[in-house]
Amino acid sequence: MKGQLQEQPIRPMPAARPLAAAERVKVLEVTARLRTLPGALLPILHGVQDALGYVPPGAVTLIAAELNLTRAEVHGVVTFYHYFRTAKPGKQVLQLCRAEACQALGAVALEQHVKRRLGVDFHGTTADGRYTLEPVYCLGNCACGPSLMLDRELHGRVSADSFDALVGVAS
């Protein structure tokens, strides 16, 4: 039905590569700092993504071992939540709101425009490595939709033209 959100499939994780030494240190620092929190897995995953820009697939085994969880438990959480990236993002992350309020204000047309202009689908990174496009299901800017967030800066009432101006894409 037009205007309704379509259920997104759970994303598979890329094959795990060994963590670089600096990545391993960051993952262990975050885990050590947050492991005593109730429900520590989510804060740790957020901390790892904040520190590295993504949750490397190789970090899953390390986090699981540090929290005495199975790899499947950690993998399940990482792949269930669309917020977590399993590949290094572009230099800038563009989150496009897909919630009903933004859809009612033109987000579907904006989404098509953005994907066409950038040449990527959701969770993709442009060929030049500049932008990663991600869906988000509410930015809390419902009265000013359609909305997007570019590197944690919120933009409302975004049109095709204002998007092009924002990212410097020529018409």
Alpha helices in 20-159 (DSSP H): 21-34, 41-52, 57-67, 71-80, 100-104, 107-118
pLDDT in tens, the chain (171 residues): 455 555 555 556 566 778 999 999 999 999 999 999 999 999 999 999 999 999 999 999 999 999 999 999 999 999 998 789 999 999 999 999 999 999 999 999 999 999 999 999 999 999 999 999 999 999 999 999 999 999 989 999 999 999 999 998 765
- This prediction's pTM: 0.77
Whether 13 and 55 have beta carbons less than 8 Å apart is answered as: no
Task: For the chain, give the number of residues.
Answer: 171
Residue ranges of the chain that CATH labels 1.10.10 = 1-86
Closest CA to 88 of 63, 58, 116, 61: 58
Class of domain 92-167: alpha beta
Residue ranges of the chain that CATH labels 3.40.30.10 = 92-167
CATH code of the domain made up of 1-86: 1.10.10
